Amino acid sequence: MGNRRNFLKSGLAAAAGLALSPWNTLEAASKKKAKGPGGPVVLSTWKFGIKANEEAWKVLAQNGYALDAVEQGVRIIESDPEERSVGYGGRPDRDGHVTLDACIMDDKANIGAVLCLEHIKNPISVARAVMEKTPHVILAGEGALQFALSQGFKKENLLVPESEREWRTWLKNSEYKPIINIENHDTIGMLALDAQGRLSGACTTSGMAFKMRGRIGDSPIIGAGLYVDQDAGAAVATGHGEEVIRVVGSHLVVMLMSQGLAPDEACKEAVKQIEKKFRLRGKDMKETQIGFLALSPDGRYGAYALQKGFNFALKSKAEPGKLINVPALLP
């Protein structure tokens, strides 16, 4: 632990001293003897991650690619109308539109994202198509929809009766007040390490319920909602996206891992940065939740949250399916 701290300090000092970028230490970190159990392993945010991990495992167990595993895994949640915070069935914005955000990243730093996409059930697959079939990395709104349709995705009504009912009830007071830790209110972020040691991640959401039209959170923003670096590790975020974007959260977690921090330590440091920014702005963080989840290239994992109540699902050969409660910074 002490050594790790010193390593962190010297890494950050080197960065501050301008002689070295923090990334210069990546090579050294990757050359350190692997301590973790290796792959395959898959992690997903929240309880619905158990179901998503099962699907991802079908790919991982057959020696498949982590990228395929994360896409297939989160699609299950996107397609489920009972899961009302992601994909089909997601809660709408304050004007009644279901707008979806998603991004995907592989071990070679290929990235793809869609922002504020309407009418398409599986935004993660559109994000992957952006990554693989366009010269761009992000498509938004109407352009994203046109692209999806050109790729053969089907246009559908995503507003299910239950979400519409909730929205109509909400309209009576029209008060934007997200409630923390409501299962069914959250993003699915998934990280996988395959049997060949390749990392990938996916993140998909309908965003904060009853948000302003056009609002984008952290989830489809590479670096904020998701980041993968094959040498350092991978991270995803869930919770109030505005706060995650402020510290470029997932990239921060991965950068801290590149400095030698274990996944849980890196997540904790990133949560502390978020707390610091709240204090700086004199804002109250009682009604805010943030959770980070991280996976190292050698299969170690960890998570940390601002408030109690965050959990994640784990599946590996040793752990056939488990929900883990995450420690929190605030009491």
* Closest CB 146 distance from ligand SD4, rounded Å: 23
Q: Are strands 138-140 and 111-117 parallel, antiparallel or unpaired?
A: parallel
Q: Segment near ligand SD4 (CB under 6 A), from 168-176, 214-222, 246-254, 273-281?
A: 214-222
Q: In this structure, which amino acid lies at residue 221?
A: I
Residues 232-271 that bind ligand SD4 (CB under 6 A): 238-241
Which helix (H) or strand (E) element contains residue 2? Answer: helix 2-16
Please report, as residue ranges, which positions from 190 to 209 form the binding site for ligand SD4 (by CB under 6 A).
205, 207-208
Least distance CB 3 / ligand SD4 (angstroms): 35
Q: How far is the CB of 61 from ligand SD4 (least distance, A)?
A: 28
Q: Could you confirm whether 187 is annotated as catalytic?
A: yes
* Residue 307 is a binding residue for ligand SD4 (CB under 6 A): no
Total residues contacting ligand SD4 by CB under 6 A comes to 12
List 44, 125, 219, 296, residue binding ligand SD4 (CB under 6 A): 219
The stretch near ligand SD4 (CB under 6 A) out of 61-69, 155-163, 213-221, 257-265 is 213-221
C-beta separation of 323 from 50 below 8 A: yes
Q: Contact at 8 Å (CB) between 205 and 218? A: no
Nearer to ligand SD4, 311 or 316 (CB): 311
**Cβ atoms of 20 and 28 closer than 8 Å:** no
The answer to whether residue 93 forms part of the interface with ligand SD4 (CB under 6 A) is: no
CB of 185 to ligand SD4, least distance (A): 6
Residue 66 beta carbon to ligand SD4: minimum distance, rounded to whole angstroms: 22
Residue 201's identity, in one-letter code, is G
Q: List beta partners, residue 302.
A: 294
Q: Does 187 bind ligand SD4 (CB under 6 A)?
A: yes
| CA distance from start to end of the chain | 24
Per CB under 6 A, does 218 bind ligand SD4?
yes
d(CA 120, CA 151): 12
Closest CA relative to residue 229, chosen from 296, 293, 292: 296
Q: Give the shortest CB-217-to-ligand SD4 separation in angstroms.
A: 2
What does the alpha-carbon distance between residue 67 and residue 318 come to, in Å, rounded to a whole number? 21
Rule CB under 6 A: say whether 186 interacts with ligand SD4.
yes
Q: Give the active site residue among 25, 45, 99, 187.
A: 187
Nearer to ligand SD4, 60 or 86 (CB): 86
Q: Where are the beta strands (DSSP E) in the chain?
A: 41-45, 100-105, 111-117, 138-140, 188-193, 199-205, 226-229, 233-239, 290-295, 301-305, 311-316, 322-325
Contact residues: ligand SD4, CB under 6 A? 186-187, 205, 207-208, 217-219, 238-241
* Active site members: 187
